[in-house]
């Protein structure tokens, strides 16, 4: 059995030797990506489809360029589409070597043009899993166990090509699926609120973000709002990721734009369609619009803030206004 990212023993050893002290982990995104994202890394991508996507971190990875990446996630949309776009434009600057995934598309915003492009041209190695399986693999990693049993999806073709194993349960005698733990080298996660030590308070669905962080060797967190530590620890039951699982904290308002960040802003459908249309054109042979998009919005700017400043203010206001629950009091989810 081969491991991508870290093996369970490597992951344990790495963490046991790590400094877990409570210290100021704020830094620039540029520094965080330089420090914690390496060529050849297995990246655990936080969020879900087009929700709470770690877009600012993705932009920075694209700007810096990285090679031979493995991406680990249950279901993603925008984050991986942006990485794929960079790869489609210049494989020498950034390339994805391998995917361990359950789903890559955009739900209401359609399928993924660039997943089709990369897969149908044989440009990436794919390992298909189910959402429950990928989530459980990261959970097993976070729990420190080398594998976890599951009761789906035996009988499917997924289990024929991925690294799961069907065994007879030693207690019931019935078939059960064993899933190897996942330990990415680095988790990239956007949350609504974090403190300077790395404690995170996620509003709405947590997706698999806490598990991904705790399974990974390093975690980079961006947050819409950096809040005071004293405010964070008033509500210990609401801390979703504890500080000692986080290595870098960067405050990036709109850090998941143009996706949806629960309680902060809704999808920017206009921008998503603009980007996705350019991706679709590339798949059909015209890379011009996508190149223009990247030159304008990613390569042509210093940081994510400069990208956001290129979005009309009214459009940003609009997606804040149509978000169901704008209040972010602790415990509040949607009002």
> Which span sits near another protein by CB under 8 A: 32-40, 59-67, 117-125, 289-297?
117-125
In the complex with another protein, the residue whose CB is nearer, 64 or 152, is: 152
Site string for another protein, 208-227 (x = CB under 8 A): xxxx--x-------------
Q: According to the binding rule CB under 8 A, does residue 115 interact with another protein?
A: yes
How many Å from the N-terminal Cα to the C-terminal Cα in the chain?
A: 48
Site string for another protein, 12-51 (x = CB under 8 A): xxxxx-xxxxx------------------------xxxxx
Contact partner at residue 325 from a copy of itself, another protein, none, CB < 5 to 8 Å by partner kind: another protein
Give the phi and the psi of residue 147 in degrees, each rounded to 5.
-155, 170
Among 27, 119, 178, 330, binds another protein (CB under 8 A): 119
H/E/C letters for each residue in 145-197?
CCEEEECCCCCCCHHHHCCCEEEECCCCCCEEEEEECCECCEEEEEEEEECCC
Beta-sheet pairing, 218-226 with 186-194: parallel
In the complex with another protein, the residue whose CB is nearer, 309 or 334, is: 334
Q: According to the binding rule CB under 8 A, does residue 1 interact with another protein?
A: no
Task: Determine contact, residues 257/311, Cβ cutoff 8 Å.
Answer: yes
Among 27, 30, 35, 204, binds another protein (CB under 8 A): 204
In the complex with another protein, the residue whose CB is nearer, 15 or 27, is: 15
Contact partner at residue 147 from a copy of itself, another protein, none, CB < 5 to 8 Å by partner kind: a copy of itself
Please state at what angle helix 78-89 crosses helix 113-120, rounded to 10 degrees: 50
Among 161, 296, 309, 317, binds another protein (CB under 8 A): 161
Q: According to the binding rule CB under 8 A, does residue 133 interact with another protein?
A: yes
Q: What is the DSSP string of 242-269?
A: -GGG-SEEEE-TTTTTTSBBTTTB---H
| Cis preceding linkage at 258, omega within 30 | yes
- CB atoms < 10 A from the CB of 206, how many? 16
In the complex with a copy of itself, the residue whose CB is nearer, 149 or 312, is: 149
223: three-class secondary structure by DSSP = strand
């Amino acid at each position: 059995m081969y491991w991508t990212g870290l093996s369970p023993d490597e992951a344990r050893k790495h963490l046991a030797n790590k400094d877990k002290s409570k210290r100021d982990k704020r830094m620039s995104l540029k520094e965080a990506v330089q420090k914690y994202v390496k060529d050849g890394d297995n990246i655990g991508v936080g969020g879900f489809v087009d929700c709470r996507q770690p877009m600012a971190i993705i932009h920075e990875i694209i700007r810096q360029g990285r090679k031979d990446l493995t991406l680990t996630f249950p279901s993603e949309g925008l984050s991986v589409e942006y990485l794929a776009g960079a790869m489609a434009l210049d494989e020498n600057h950034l390339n994805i070597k391998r995917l361990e995934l359950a789903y890559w598309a955009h739900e209401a915003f359609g399928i993924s043009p660039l997943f089709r492009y990369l897969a149908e041209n044989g440009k990436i190695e794919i390992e298909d899993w189910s959402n429950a399986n990928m989530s459980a693999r990261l959970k097993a990693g976070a729990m420190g166990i080398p594998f976890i049993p599951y009761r789906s999806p035996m009988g499917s073709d997924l289990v024929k090509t991925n690294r799961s194993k069907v065994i007879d349960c030693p207690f019931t005698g019935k078939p059960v699926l064993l899933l190897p733990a996942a330990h990415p080298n680095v988790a990239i996660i956007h949350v609504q609120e974090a403190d300077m030590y790395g404690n995170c308070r996620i509003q709405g669905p947590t997706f698999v973000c806490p598990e991904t962080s705790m399974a990974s060797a390093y975690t980079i967190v961006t947050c819409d709002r950096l809040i005071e530590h004293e405010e964070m620890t008033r509500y210990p039951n609401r801390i979703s990721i504890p500080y000692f699982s986080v290595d870098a904290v960067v405050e990036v308002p709109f850090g998941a734009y143009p996706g949806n960040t629960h309680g902060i802003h809704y999808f920017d459908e206009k921008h998503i369609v603009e980007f996705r249309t350019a991706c679709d054109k590339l798949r059909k042979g015209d890379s011009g619009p996508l190149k223009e998009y990247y030159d304008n919005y990613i390569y042509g700017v210093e940081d994510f803030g400069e990208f956001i400043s290129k979005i009309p203010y009214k459009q940003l206001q609009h997606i804040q206004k149509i978000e169901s629950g704008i209040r972010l009091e602790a415990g509040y989810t949607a009002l």
